[in-house]
Structure 1
Amino acid sequence: MPYRFAAVLATTALLAAAPAARAQQASALSARVAQLAEQEQAQVVAWRRDIHEHPELGNQETRTAALVADHLRKLGLEVQTGVGRTGVVAVLKGGKPGPVVALRADMDALPVTETTGLPFASKVRTDYNGQQVGVMHACGHDTHVAMLLGAADVLTKMKKDLPGSVKFIFQPAEEGSLPGQEGGARLMVKEGVLENPKVAAVFGIHIQAQTEVGQLSYRPGGEMASSDVFSIKVKGKSAHGAYPWLAVDPVVTAAQIILGLQTIVSRQAQLTEDAVVLTVGMVHGGVRNNIIPEEVELTGTIRCLNKEMQQKVWAGVRRTAQGIAESAGATAEVDITNYAPITFNDPDLTRCMVPSLERAAGPANVRVQKAVTGAEDFAFYQEKVPGLFVFVGGMAKGQNPATTAPHHTAGFFVDESGLTLGVRTLATLAIDYLTGK
């Protein structure tokens, strides 16, 4: 009896000490990550500037991919190229057995002519959809690549402490491919990027030019909207513009459809549940001022934050377009294609990883943000495995978000002092997931 009592006491003491020991180990690992990330700062900035000066559009990121693959090979990692056209995937095997966690960065730029005046500003020009355009990293994907390369350096130096493996995913074409060309996360998932070895969880970050450096933000559940592309072909009957009674005018009908579509958001969507956006972005029809055309095509985007709402909006677009067209004696052919699902942060994974975000940035610098009606094809990974997508501040301290150039514009600017936090965040998420902190 005394022996059993002593054994119980010893076990109780060990259990009581375990949380303290885990906390001490987590603190030591976090300090190590912070130290290594700080040492990477100059190199991360150099990578970012190089990539920024040499941007490449979706599925054309050959130079960027070569830079990434060369460095990952120097780290001694298993590297695979040509995944999803120009993607690069590498695996770091830890010093102990365990699960596999994935970290992802997107590599592509946008058809935007840069006006920042930076010494490393892009001067690249190319043909895009039949037009001569500038090419620019106007959404910060250059910073994403640089930060993930920095995290790969940090994690490689901590290899012996990793109970499991880290898969680094450098993805092309997040902003989309040319018409008729598949790419991005959808294609990488289709080609098995989350398999061999099988990924248990995936993390990604995105620079945010309207949030101060040093800050992290996230949202459990629906964080970024789904992105759907719709086209409506309104077909009527052509006639001379001087004799409209001989026509079935698709121009007037299309105008009525545009107005009718707005009521889907203003009168049919329960906006107290979630936001909905429906925008007609293109109207094409006609070749001459005095000829009523036979057909007008409308093209636009739909953004939703939950699948039930998305299905209701799709049905509303079809019902509205076809009903209005029929009332005018015309027809409407409606096509809706999903570009990206809802970026959905797994609630359980998010809750478990919030302490990691707080270790990376400090508790005062981590906040829950409102949902974003922009979209991210990171959502395709989250459809297959639990994932968490986090925003990293890239605006200089003291600046007014209302006066900073937004993403996807020619003056888009990132304060590079915020990149070290991105490196620290990616490395901390990977280590904490693998070690169960």
Structure 2
Amino acid sequence: MKRTYTFLFSLLSLAAYSQTSATLKAEADKKAESLEKKVIAWRRDIHEHPELGNHETRTAELIAKHLQALGITVKTGVAKTGVVGLLKGGKPGPVVALRADMDALPVIERVNIPFASKVKTTYNGNEVGVMHACGHDSHVAMLMGVAEVLAGMKNQLHGTVKFIFQPAEEGPPQGEEGGAELMVKEGVLENPKVDAIFGLHINSQTEVGKIAYRPGGTMASSNDMRITVKGRSAHGAYPWSSIDPIVVSAQIINALQTIVSRNLNVTENGAVVTIGSIHGGNRSNIIPEQVVMDGTLRALSTEDEKMLISRVKEIATKTAEAMGATATVQIPVTTHYPVTYNDPALTAKMLPTLQSTAGKENVLLRQAVTGAEDFSFYEQKVPGLFIFLGGMPKGQDPAKAPSHHTPDFYIDESGFTLGVKALCNLTIDYLESKK
């Protein structure tokens, strides 16, 4: 009999959770729709006034003022220019973190829109244009909208929501720390301790109205690398007097291509080994003493990442040694992002929320991508789910839609309300399921 009562109590509790959650989500959806013009206006303002990583002072001030006006506790200056808002619900429960990145890129905008960026600044010693060429302006605007929705229903929330507005996702300036790694180091996931984190990224090649996701490794780890080959200089007419670092480098480059084709289990994951630049010598008839190569490594699991690093070092040093030269390998040089790994249990748990928000037919299981995201630093510490929101106009060919990080990058703003709803509903369902 006791077992029967327990079962009935569980059924009643589940029914009560479902009803409460549905009521709260309906309220959140209605409020999100009413905020559409406001969210778009925020995005356009931020787009017109972009700022590079660790310099997002205007954006941070806009965010902080908005959160404070909502009665949210605000901390500024986190990881240089980051803003963290804390919203305590009216009832006890877990802590959910929501993240948006704030920084723009050193790109000159070419899109013909009224709010196009005309901003110029100095980056690594060069004058550059500044553009939100990856959609971080939309991330900020949507999370500001989410904050307004949830603040308006805080007395009904079972738990706490931490809003993380992060600088320098694209990487900090040379010689500086920044981004998610620094935010984690400064304790953004503590006090109160975060139980789960959600984030989204707008995508210019996914149609508006759709959400894409992937459990496990969804975005690659990223390591930049530098291989320095040292040989012996000689006159170009007498190559037998040299140990030619250019020839050695050519052999190394060819051998590196065998890592993916011969060392990686391609039935499980993909990976990338790319040499993006090679510098050596300054005259046609002089064999130089040294060649420097820069490149990037991308992997979709921690084990594959370790393998890539090990094999690059082994191939470069041993190939050089076999040819009488030496090679030193730096991995990473300045940048390392871990694999963006969506916790499989959390992803499965929240999938029905995404499907009920966007419609089951509009929630797509996507392939893993070899781009990288520093959201991965949060997911190393707590279970996380990072999703992709459609930003491409309906009917457009994805192959012809301008990609991220380009001067022609374009986002259809009609998809923002779905992003606000998704983050609100993920938060509500997670908090309700834990009460």
Bin for the TM-score computed over the shorter chain: over 0.9
Structure 2 equivalent of residue 126 of structure 1: 121
For 1:26 and 1:100, locate their aligned partners in 2 and report how far apart those are by CA, in whole Å: 17
Say whether the 8 Å CA contact 2:56–2:102 is kept in structure 1.
yes
SS at 1:436 equivalent = helix
For 2:149 and 2:45, locate their aligned partners in 1 and report how far apart those are by CA, in whole Å: 20
Whichever residue aligns with residue 79 of structure 1, its letter is: V
State which of 391, 395, 398 in structure 2 corresponds to 1:394: 391
Structure 2 equivalent of residue 332 of structure 1: 327
SS at 2:85 equivalent = strand
Over residues 11-31 of structure 1, what are the superposed CA-to-partner deviations in whole Å (9 max), with x where a residue is unaligned? Answer: 765544443333222221121
Whichever residue aligns with residue 189 of structure 1, its letter is: V
Structure 1 equivalent of residue 408 of structure 2: 411
For 1:374 and 1:167, locate their aligned partners in 2 and report how far apart those are by CA, in whole Å: 26
Whichever residue aligns with residue 21 of structure 1, its letter is: A
Tell which deviates more after alignment, 19-28 or 355-364: 19-28
Tell which deviates more after alignment, 409-418 or 427-436: 427-436
Tell which deviates more after alignment, 283-292 or 161-170: 283-292
SS at 2:257 equivalent = helix
Whichever residue aligns with residue 287 of structure 2, its letter is: I
State which of 215, 233, 238 in structure 2 corresponds to 1:238: 233
The runs of 5 or more residues in structure 1 that have no matched partner are none
For 2:109 and 2:242, locate their aligned partners in 1 and report how far apart those are by CA, in whole Å: 46
1:168 aligns with 2:158: no
TM-score (normalizing by structure 1): 0.96
State which of 201, 208, 212 in structure 2 corresponds to 1:213: 208
State which of 51, 72, 77 in structure 2 corresponds to 1:77: 72
1:296 aligns with 2:294: no
Structure 1 equivalent of residue 365 of structure 2: 368
RMSD: 1.6
Task: Return closer, same or farther for 1:372/1:12 CA change in 2, 3 Å cut-off.
Answer: closer
Structure 2 equivalent of residue 194 of structure 1: 189
1:100 aligns with 2:129: no
Task: Return closer, same or farther for 1:348/1:8 CA change in 2, 3 Å cut-off.
Answer: closer
Say whether the 8 Å CA contact 1:30–1:359 is kept in structure 2.
no
SS at 1:38 equivalent = helix
Tell which deviates more after alignment, 88-97 or 360-369: 360-369
For 1:127 and 1:154, locate their aligned partners in 2 and report how far apart those are by CA, in whole Å: 38
Shift of 1:413: 0.4
Over residues 4-47 of structure 1, what are the superposed CA-to-partner deviations in whole Å (9 max), with x where a residue is unaligned? Answer: x8x99887655444433332222211211110100110010001
Say whether the 8 Å CA contact 2:21–2:428 is kept in structure 1.
no
Task: Return closer, same or farther for 1:247/1:361 CA change in 2, 3 Å cut-off.
Answer: same
TM-score (normalizing by structure 2): 0.96
Over residues 234-292 of structure 1, what are the superposed CA-to-partner deviations in whole Å (9 max), with x where a residue is unaligned? Answer: 01112222322222111121122111111111222121110011111111222333322
For 2:342 and 2:3, locate their aligned partners in 1 and report how far apart those are by CA, in whole Å: 41
Tell which deviates more after alignment, 229-238 or 248-257: 248-257
State which of 94, 113, 130 in structure 2 corresponds to 1:135: 130
Shift of 1:319: 1.3
Shift of 1:389: 0.4
Task: Return closer, same or farther for 1:8/1:261 CA change in 2, 3 Å cut-off.
Answer: closer
For 2:318 and 2:211, locate their aligned partners in 1 and report how far apart those are by CA, in whole Å: 46
For 1:194 and 1:321, locate their aligned partners in 2 and report how far apart those are by CA, in whole Å: 39
Say whether the 8 Å CA contact 2:17–2:432 is kept in structure 1.
no
State which of 372, 375, 378 in structure 2 corresponds to 1:381: 378
Say whether the 8 Å CA contact 2:338–2:374 is kept in structure 1.
yes
For 1:78 and 1:380, locate their aligned partners in 2 and report how far apart those are by CA, in whole Å: 24
The runs of 5 or more residues in structure 2 that have no matched partner are none
1:283 aligns with 2:283: no
Over residues 160-203 of structure 1, what are the superposed CA-to-partner deviations in whole Å (9 max), with x where a residue is unaligned? Answer: 11111100000000001122211100000000000111111111
State which of 173, 178, 186 in structure 2 corresponds to 1:178: 173
Tell which deviates more after alignment, 10-19 or 303-312: 10-19
Whichever residue aligns with residue 353 of structure 1, its letter is: M
Task: Return closer, same or farther for 1:9/1:178 CA change in 2, 3 Å cut-off.
Answer: closer
Structure 2 equivalent of residue 427 of structure 1: 424
Tell which deviates more after alignment, 234-243 or 91-100: 234-243
Whichever residue aligns with residue 57 of structure 1, its letter is: L
Tell which deviates more after alignment, 26-35 or 11-20: 11-20
Tell which deviates more after alignment, 387-396 or 241-250: 241-250
Whichever residue aligns with residue 68 of structure 2, its letter is: R
Say whether the 8 Å CA contact 2:88–2:160 is kept in structure 1.
yes
Whichever residue aligns with residue 181 of structure 2, its letter is: R
State which of 251, 254, 268 in structure 2 corresponds to 1:273: 268
For 2:172 and 2:154, locate their aligned partners in 1 and report how far apart those are by CA, in whole Å: 36
Whichever residue aligns with residue 427 of structure 1, its letter is: C
